[in-house]
Structures are given as C-alpha cells and as structure tokens.
Amino acid sequence: MDVDDVLVESLPGYLQAFRCHFGREVKLEDAAWEIFQRYPDISSAQMCGFFAELEATDFLRTRPVYPEAVEAVRALADRGHRLFVVTGRLLAHRDHTRRLLQDAGILGLFEELFHRDGETAVEYKPRVVRERGLDVLIEDELPVAAATVRAPVPVLLFDRPWNQGDVPQGVTRVASWDRVLQFVDAKAADGPPG
C-alpha cells in the first residue's frame, strides 16, 4: 500500500505549502506531486529551495495519520495478511517514513518498506508489485493505478479530488478503509487461482 493520501493526508498539505511558497493558486482537483512540470518558469533553484523548506519543517514525517487507516492496517495484520509499503517517496526519505509509521504504532506490521530511487512512481510501483508477487495495491494516484493493473494486479484507488476520471478495468474506487477490508476479505475468500 501507498503511504501518502492512503495512510496519511499529504497532498493537500503539500499543495498548501506550494501555494504559500510560490503564490500560485492551484485547485486540489489539479494537484499532483510532480506539480513543477506545469510551471516551467519555476527554476530548479527555486524548486530546490521549496524542497529544502519542506525538509526543514519535517513535512514527510509529520503528516496527519488517518485513524481509520491505522485500524484497518491492524485488522489486516490480525487477519494474517502480509503487508508492504510501496510508496512514491524517495529512498532518501526512508527514515521519515519509518518514523511516521512508528509514531502511528504500525511500523512493525509491515514486512518491508519500498521507496523509489531514480524511477518515476508509474514505473517503479508496478515493477515492485509484480516482482514481489503482491495481490493488490492500495493507491491514490490514477496514473500509477492504471500502470499497475497492466502488471496485472488489481488496484484499490482511494477516491480523491485529484484522481477523478474513468478508471481502467481492474481498478476499484474505494471511499473508505471499510471498503478496502471488504475487498481484501472477498479476495482472500476466493483463494488462489487454480
């Protein structure tokens, strides 16, 4: 499962920081982690300054955790599911992620944390899911979901303002962690293909 905007609320805070730093008004529906592609007039030095500001405020470690996500992760672990984090965060931010999950009391429930290093999230997440033989990805980014179902692995896509639009077959929109638990339970009840 992903971290940002699946386990913790992040993109709205990132967008707010972007607005404050650059004075650009961007709607939540138009938000994206790689927002700088839309603003070629923002120099690399300005972009680096923005990221340095986020780092100085410990942005990635201090995101608010969704309480229902913590309960659901514990329920999945209690039911014997193997859990992995496949985050779009960079390898350099692994310690932030570990501390965030530790503070939430769920770090020990994950077998492994995967962070990207040099690949886009659209390339990296489907590769990790495929190579590790994962059964489902829980995600919030539509392009990542679309790439992952081509792996082919089903994706649960949390319904967020920035991921609206048609979803490909194999992607299921979910509005709550209760729906995630229902989906995983149903998939487990079906058993392995045979």
Same domain, 103 and 157: yes
Same domain, 28 and 102: no
Same domain, 112 and 23: no
Same domain, 32 and 57: yes
Contacts of 67 (CB under 8 A, 6+ apart): none
Task: Output the pLDDT for position 179.
Answer: 97
Task: Output the pLDDT for position 192.
Answer: 56
Alpha-carbon torsion 192, 155, 82, 160, what sign? negative
- Residue 169 is part of which domain span? 67-190
**pLDDT in tens for each of the 194 residues of the chain?**
999 999 999 999 999 999 999 999 999 998 888 889 889 999 999 999 999 999 999 999 999 999 999 999 999 999 999 999 999 999 999 999 999 999 999 999 999 999 999 899 999 999 999 999 999 999 999 999 999 999 899 999 999 999 999 999 999 999 999 999 999 999 888 865 44
- Residue 89 included in any domain: yes
Same domain, 57 and 153: no
Task: Output the pLDDT for position 37.
Answer: 86
- Residue 52 included in any domain: yes
Same domain, 88 and 32: no
- Residue 4 included in any domain: no
How many structural domains comprise the chain? Answer: 2
Same domain, 48 and 129: no
Same domain, 138 and 53: no
Same domain, 92 and 181: yes
Same domain, 36 and 112: no
46-69 core/surface letters (b: 16 or more CB in 10 A; e: else): eeeebeeebeeeebbbebebbeeb
